[in-house]
Amino acid sequence: MKRWLPLVLFVVLVGFFAKGLFLNPREVPSPFIGRNAPAFTLPLVGDANAAFSPADMKGKTWMLNVWAPWCVSCRQEHPLLMQIAQSGRIPIVGLNWKDKDREAAPLLARTGSPYVAVPEDLDGRVGIDYGVTGTPETYLIDQAGIVRLKHIGPISPEVWKTKFEPKLKELGA
Amino acid sequence: MIPELGHFALIIALLLALTQAILPLVGAQRGNLTLMAVARPAAQGQFLFTAIAFACLAYSFLTNDFSVENVARNSFSQLPEVYRLTATWGSHEGSLLLWVLTLGFWSTAVSVFSRHLPEDMAARVIGVMGLISVGFLAFLLTTSNPFERLLPAAMDGNDMNPLLQDWGMIIHPPMLYMGYVGFAVAFAFAIAALLSGKMDVAWARWSRPWTTVAWAFLTFGIMLGSWWAYRELGWGGWWFWDPTENASFMPWIAGTALIHSLAVTEKRGAFKAWTVLLALVVFSLSLLGTFLVRSGVLSSVHAFATDPARGAFILGFLAVVIGGSLALYAWRAPKMVTGSGFTWFSRESLLLANNVILMAALGSVLLGTLYPLFIDAMGLGKISVGPPYFNAVFVPLMAPALFLMGIGPLARWKDASLPDVVTRMKWALGVALATGLLLPLTLDGFNPWASLGFFLAAWITLAVLAAFIDRLKHGQGGLLQKLAGLPRGFWGMQLAHLGMAIGVAGIAVVANYSTERDVRMEVGSYAELAGYTFTFRGTTEHDGPNYRAARGTLEVSQNGKPVATLHPEKRIYNASGSGMTEAAVHPNIFRDVYVALGEQLDDQGAWTVRLFHKPFINWLWFGALFMVVGGFMAASDKRYRIALRRSEVPKHLAAQGA
């Protein structure tokens, strides 16, 4: 029986690998899920006198989309965000992350903006508070200001349908 | 046109690989010499066409053909020529092509240097290697075609990952693959032995030099990778227990065990079943490493694009090759009769202990590497396993192995006398203990781990010395004559063991006595570290071929005497816009002075600067080089060449007798 042991161990290993293929090791669950979204106050892009704070969105279910003009995969999700914004389903706030060259305003003027507000996180400090690992990342925040969902990477129509829609229904938004 | 030629050559290579796999294996089973004779030309043809495909891809890179998707993704018009060449294997597709090319090279080497083997054995070995080629060529052609066109062509490329733009990376992958893939030869020999049912001592003698050479290449490849990480990542670390590093380290540990157990099987006919199993395991770990890196089941610094279809293909292939070979092993193992016995204290028993310890170490690395995957797959959460685990488990396991390394070569086969070895090594033990206890005191304070490291390094070195003295006592002639008369196998083993001692000493120092500082430096300000004074002279703009850099100038002095002027850089690459830290190092045999730029702090030219003092770091690379040289030397031992020449005459007899 002993001689079959290597094969048996290997078969078990293959089982784990097969399962592992469908998991994403990079997707680390956010510790903020179920907790209050960290507070911040940041100036708005193009209007340094105006400011945005998550408290402004109290009573609404909204999305915080972390993006940057230099981020290529953010452009990938841009059309979908535009559609969502136009459907009026949910307001999107676009946190403009580490945009040192200040390219956000001209870019949004050119491509159209899906955002209700674009706060400017120049040095990325708010990003650190939220545990941002890269752009784009999207947080779904409910009426009470609690983070309900975090998505790393661009939102595809499929992700929207399978991840965001059910959560939105659950929240009654 | 050229990329299409390459694609076409790859298809021909696949067809030849199929021929190389099927006909000789069928021929060997039926005793048909005509079919067996197909093995060599098919293997050589397969290698030729894979090489043509590789050359076509290299040509596309060198000529900046951005209508090839792979080139557009991984190269850039401003990229220096030498990196355009190495970009050929910088991508997922290209590195797989290199894998197949390396396998073709080894198959061809076997086809040339296997004249002394019985025909059916050679046919089976080459056929099994053909089967592996088929799998990888099919993988390339179906999921990872490197010649995929991009229409319309891109204006320019995305550039090669800046981290890989380093000359350590030019030779690291080919060397690593020479090692990884070289274990396919030992694997093929083991399968051939299982298929034929003749697992005799000759089998071990044939596989030994191949295994040792592959092991030496792998050692060199791992060393280059470590050296690259040390200089290029800018953190001053040389081993991170990253899954990708572990993927290359696991075959190395198992390969080390295999070299030793092959010695027992060849010399004494013992451990036959175990050695065969080990040969299967070593190459399985190479395949496993390929799977782990290519499929993205583990997160790692090596961010290749991951695609579940590719992962599924490799996993399927893995299941067939490894599962199939382990099943074959289970079926055939009872046929293996073990050789003569040995007592509890003999070279056999010591080598057995070596194998047991190495396997435990391998298991601990494998567990640590795959643990996050197990936990995730069972839905228990996301975790990562880092250096604290590996250091806590691996170091205590290796210490006894290193101690035995001193005794093993001195013990006789079959039945050694413990009192005899004790008498011969008493003085060495005393000297080694004294070294371990006293040497740390001359450094920056006593540290038990450093003490252990010094003890083991001194112990192994003295054992090497004792082995030489033992050998030189007998025989006639002058000292030099006697030294030259020692077999290369002996020299190789002692050099490799000495390399281990050098490496262990280096690790003991660098892991326990390294110092570093993160400092804010303004122009003209200075900082002190480990007796060195670093004066910051500011940064200047500097334009490279495909990047812009802020180049810092730091003057290093010791006791007022200038030591070096270092120029660390902070680069921004033009195509990707990604930043890179280029550390500057002043090496000598006892230490590295290492500086890296952090971030610019203000408009006045103040920067954060990281300063490192790394004593004995270079001993690590020296130690590894000793092992590499030792490996090649052992593999070139006269015994193997004599066996080769002798068997040339009575070839028909050999074929009959086998």
Give the CATH number for residue A40. Answer: 3.40.30.10
Question: Would an 8 Å CB–CB cutoff place B653 in contact with chain A?
Answer: no
What residues of A are in contact with residue B575 (Cβ under 8 Å)? none
The encoded tokens of residue A68 equal: 């940057």
This prediction's pTM: 0.84
The encoded tokens of residue B385 equal: 């396993």
Question: Would an 8 Å CB–CB cutoff place A16 in contact with chain B?
Answer: yes
- Among A16, A21, A22, A150, the residue to mutate for chain B (most B Cβ within 10 A): A21
Q: Are B140 and B97 in contact (CB under 8 A)?
A: yes
ipTM over 0.90: no
Q: Are B129 and B42 in contact (CB under 8 A)?
A: no
Question: Does residue A15 fall inside a structural domain?
Answer: no
Asked whether the beta carbons of residue B334 and residue A3 sit closer than 8 angstroms, the reply is yes
Q: Which of B271, B251, B138, B154 is nearest to B203 (CA)?
A: B271
Closest CB from A3, A16, A20 relative to B329: A3
pLDDT for B339? 66
Q: Are A63 and A90 in contact (CB under 8 A)?
A: yes
Closest CB from B315, B323, B382 relative to A7: B323
pLDDT for A27? 63
Q: In terms of DSSP bridges, do strands A92-97 and A62-67 run parallel, antiparallel, or are they unpaired? A: parallel
Q: How far apart are CA B536 and CA B607, in angstroms?
A: 9
What residues of B are in contact with residue A11 (Cβ under 8 Å)? 323
Minimal Cα distance from B309: which residue of A? Answer: A21
Question: Does residue A6 fall inside a structural domain?
Answer: no
Q: How far apart are CA B76 and CA B82, in angstroms?
A: 12
Question: Does residue A16 fall inside a structural domain?
Answer: no
Question: Does residue A89 fall inside a structural domain?
Answer: yes
Query: How many A-B residue pairs are in contact by the CB < 8 A criterion?
Result: 69
CA distances from B4 to B1, B25, B50, B141, B145 (A): 5, 32, 14, 13, 11
Q: How far apart are CA B161 and CA B75, in angstroms?
A: 9
Asked whether the beta carbons of residue B323 and residue A10 sit closer than 8 angstroms, the reply is yes
How many domains does chain A divide into?
Answer: 1
Closest CB from B319, B330, B370 relative to A4: B330
Q: How many residues does chain B have?
A: 658
Asked whether the beta carbons of residue B299 and residue A25 sit closer than 8 angstroms, the reply is yes
Closest CB from B297, B319, B323 relative to A25: B297
Asked whether the beta carbons of residue B297 and residue A18 sit closer than 8 angstroms, the reply is no
The encoded tokens of residue B82 equal: 């030498």
Minimal Cα distance from A4: which residue of B? Answer: B330
pLDDT for B25? 95
pLDDT for A24? 65
Question: Would an 8 Å CB–CB cutoff place A28 in contact with chain B?
Answer: yes
Asked whether the beta carbons of residue B373 and residue A70 sit closer than 8 angstroms, the reply is no
pLDDT for A125? 86
Question: Would an 8 Å CB–CB cutoff place B363 in contact with chain A?
Answer: no
Q: To the nearest whole angstrom, how far is the Cα of B278 from the nearest Cα of chain A?
A: 11
What residues of B are in contact with residue A13 (Cβ under 8 Å)? 370
Question: Does residue A13 fall inside a structural domain?
Answer: no
Question: Does residue A18 fall inside a structural domain?
Answer: no
- Among A7, A28, A103, the residue to mutate for chain B (most B Cβ within 10 A): A7
Asked whether the beta carbons of residue B315 and residue A14 sit closer than 8 angstroms, the reply is yes
Residue corresponding to tokens 């280059």: B224
Residues (pLDDT < 70) of chain B are 295-296, 298-308, 337-340, 642-658
Asked whether the beta carbons of residue B330 and residue A29 sit closer than 8 angstroms, the reply is no
Cβ atoms within 10 A of the Cβ of B105, count? 18
Question: Does residue A8 fall inside a structural domain?
Answer: no
Minimal Cα distance from B301: which residue of A? Answer: A26
Minimal Cα distance from B373: which residue of A? Answer: A20
What residues of B are in contact with residue A28 (Cβ under 8 Å)? 382
Return the DSSP state at A115.
Answer: -
Q: To the nearest whole angstrom, how far is the Cα of B334 from the nearest Cα of chain A?
A: 8
pLDDT for A33? 82
pLDDT for B366? 93
Question: Would an 8 Å CB–CB cutoff place A110 in contact with chain B?
Answer: no
pLDDT for B92? 83
Task: Tell me what the pLDDT averaged over chain A comes to.
Answer: 86
Q: How far apart are CA A81 and CA A157, in angstroms?
A: 10
Q: To the nearest whole angstrom, how far is the Cα of A54 from the nearest Cα of chain B?
A: 29
Q: How far apart are CA B421 and CA B416, in angstroms?
A: 8
Asked whether the beta carbons of residue A3 and residue B333 sit closer than 8 angstroms, the reply is yes
pLDDT for B313? 86
What residues of B are in contact with residue A27 (Cβ under 8 Å)? 382
CB proximity under 8 Å: A 39-98 to B: 70
Q: How far apart are CA B209 and CA B203, in angstroms?
A: 11
SS in 3 state form for B470-527?
A: HHHHCCCCCHHHHHHHCCHHHHHHHHHHHHHHHHHHHHHHHHHHCEEEEEEECCCCEE
Question: Does residue A106 fall inside a structural domain?
Answer: yes
Asked whether the beta carbons of residue B377 and residue A10 sit closer than 8 angstroms, the reply is no
pLDDT for B584? 92
Identify how many contiguous H helices and E strands chain A contains and give both numbers.
6, 7
Asked whether the beta carbons of residue B370 and residue A11 sit closer than 8 angstroms, the reply is no
Q: To the nearest whole angstrom, how far is the Cα of B576 from the nearest Cα of chain A?
A: 10
- Domain with A156, as residue range(s), is 32-171
CB proximity under 8 Å: B 296-315 to A: 296-299, 308, 311-312, 315
